Amino acid sequence: MEIVADLSFETRALQRGFARIAGVDEVGRGPLAGPVTAAAVVLDPARIPEGLADSKALPRARREALDAELREVACVAVAHCSVAEIDTHNILRASHIAMCRALAALEQTCDHALIDGNMLPRDLACSGEALVKGDARCLSIAAASIVAKVARDRIMVDLAQQHPGYGWETNMGYGTKGHRSALQNLGVTPHHRRSFAPIYNILYQENSLSA
């Protein structure tokens, strides 16, 4: 049976007394390069864009159109955690930091957050609920997944122009065959996550050879 995102989680939160509910999702845990990006979205139930769904299920053009529409009809905020922060904290912690930053960046403070995943950020400043596969079940989280994906993809396209050859404009920093080949041929950039095994191993080999 196909899962369709709806407003049932938001409705239940409203019934529990919460007044302003944000969906929160992150993009970019898996890539070898670039930041991790999170978005927080508070939907207006009377102005929900048609076709909201998990960003991974939508083509790029549709994501970008929905992102533009969401910024017109919803309260939206985006935040990032840098490569240096990822390497310092670990990717899970960095993802949670980005989520909290996105919530804090909303124009109006929310009192309940619907978070994609199985764990709430430890620094969450409001009540929260973790929803496994939330981006496919909850419209607010689906909206956040779209906004975060579009924002991060644009960063990676910009970085690809500064560091050509790694294919970031299409692989978005993920460890594709072409990206890994470029790492061997072109080396590690400041935008690569040194705590991730493929990057760490390259640097370790370089240090071993120079020792």
Domains of the chain: 8-162 (3.30.420.10)
Helix, strand, coil percent values for the chain (each to nearest 5): 50, 15, 35
Annotated binding-site residues read 25-26, 116
128-161 burial code (b ≥16 CB/10 A, e <16): bbbbeebbbbbbbbbbbbbbbbbbbbebbeebbe
The stretches of 74-196 forming alpha helices (DSSP H) are 83-89, 91-105, 134-137, 139-162, 168-171, 177-186
What are the backbone dihedrals phi and psi of residue 109, each rounded to the nearest 5 degrees, phi first?
-65, 135
For 60-70, what is the mean pLDDT? 97
What are the backbone dihedrals phi and psi of residue 21, each rounded to the nearest 5 degrees, phi first?
-115, 130
Annotated binding-site residues for a divalent metal cation read 25-26, 116
What is the per-residue pLDDT for 110?
95
pTM for this model (two decimals): 0.95
pLDDT, one tens digit per residue, over 165-211 is 999 999 999 999 999 999 999 999 999 999 999 999 999 776 655 54
pLDDT, one tens digit per residue, over 76-100 is 999 999 999 999 999 999 999 999 9
Is-contact 205 211, C-beta < 8 A?
A: no
Mutual angle of helices 177-186 and 197-210, in 10-degree steps = 20
CA 45 from centre of chain:
23
Q: What strands, in cross-sheet order, belong to the sheet with 21-27?
A: 75-81, 36-42, 21-27, 112-116, 127-131
Is-contact 136 53, C-beta < 8 A?
A: yes
pLDDT, one tens digit per residue, over 102-120 is 999 999 899 999 999 999 9
Is-contact 199 34, C-beta < 8 A?
A: no
